[in-house]
């Protein structure tokens, strides 16, 4: 009993917090330190960090998933006396970088022009549907008692406020942020990326294949 207690006391405990997603190039050898934050009450920390887990090859597609099950198996092969504790997510998505063509400036300008015209037409059609000009005319008549076909004293501040409101709503002025609170657009993009990562983690993980059941 005493010997067993001493053995349990001397047993090293390895804590791993896997990174959710990393990016590597083809032919890269992925080690433990690449996919996880490592902490252990043992002197062999640097050796453990260098344990090879996977080598990216040309046959790999755009994504590879490294599961904690495989990581534990590699660590136990290195030292069976180590107890592994996984904190947080149990999978790491490896995105394989490939050579991408440089985007043409003409294509960027074309896309920008299409989006600009589309956004402008959306605003114009909305104001036409709700008869915004008649609303401004009635507001002008209510406060001044005179009819004005183009009440610029109302339309100009309204147009400025529309632009300022969009800037405040998106919480961005080019690269400048007004506060640390995420904008609704950033939250939607975050949820979309999280859903994509969850899909990749499930479908690219070979442990989820029927052949491994």
Contact 171, 177 (CB under 8 A): yes
Instruction: Look at 84 and 7; give whichever has higher pLDDT.
Output: 84
* Domain residue extents for the chain: 2-97, 105-203
Quote the pTM value.
0.69
Instruction: Look at 63 and 210; give whichever has higher pLDDT.
Output: 63
**Regarding beta strands 21-25 and 83-87, do their DSSP bridges make them parallel or antiparallel, or are they unpaired?**
unpaired
Contact 32, 18 (CB under 8 A): no
The pLDDT of residue 40: 82
Measured CA to CA, the distance from residue 201 to residue 92 in angstroms comes to: 8
- Residue 78: both structure tokens together: 């290195």
Q: How confident is the model at residue 13 (pLDDT cuts 50, 70, 90)?
A: confident
Give the position of tokens 């490896």.
94
pLDDT higher than 90, residue 112: yes
Instruction: Look at 11 and 46; give whichever has higher pLDDT.
Output: 46
CATH of domain 2-97: 2.60.480.10
* Model confidence pLDDT, tens digit, residues 127-179: 889 899 899 999 999 888 888 888 989 999 998 998 888 888 877 777 777 77
pLDDT higher than 50, residue 2: no
pLDDT higher than 60, residue 183: yes
pLDDT higher than 70, residue 210: no
The torsion angle over the Cα atoms of residues 100, 91, 68 and 84, rounded to 10 degrees, is 120
């Amino acid at each position: 009993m005493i010997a067993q207690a001493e053995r349990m006391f001397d047993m090293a405990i390895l804590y791993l917090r896997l990174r959710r997603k990393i990016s590597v190039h083809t032919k890269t050898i992925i080690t433990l330190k690449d996919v996880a934050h490592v902490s252990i009450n043992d002197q062999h920390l640097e050796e453990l960090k260098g344990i090879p887990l996977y080598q990216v090859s040309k046959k790999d597609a755009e994504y590879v998933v490294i599961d904690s099950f495989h990581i534990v198996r590699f660590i136990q092969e290195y030292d069976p006396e180590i107890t592994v504790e996984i904190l947080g997510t149990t999978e790491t998505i490896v995105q394989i970088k490939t050579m991408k063509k440089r985007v043409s400036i003409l294509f960027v300008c074309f896309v920008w022009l299409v989006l600009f015209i589309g956004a402008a037409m959306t605003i114009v059609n909305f104001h036409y549907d709700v008869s915004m000009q008649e609303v401004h005319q009635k507001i002008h008549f209510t406060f001044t008692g005179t009819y004005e076909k183009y009440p610029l004293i109302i339309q100009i501040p309204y147009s400025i406020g529309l632009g300022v409101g969009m800037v405040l709503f998106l919480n961005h002025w080019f690269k400048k942020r007004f506060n640390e609170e995420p904008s609704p657009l950033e939250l939607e993009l975050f949820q979309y990326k999280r859903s994509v990562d969850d899909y990749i983690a499930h479908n690219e993980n070979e442990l989820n294949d029927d052949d491994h059941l």
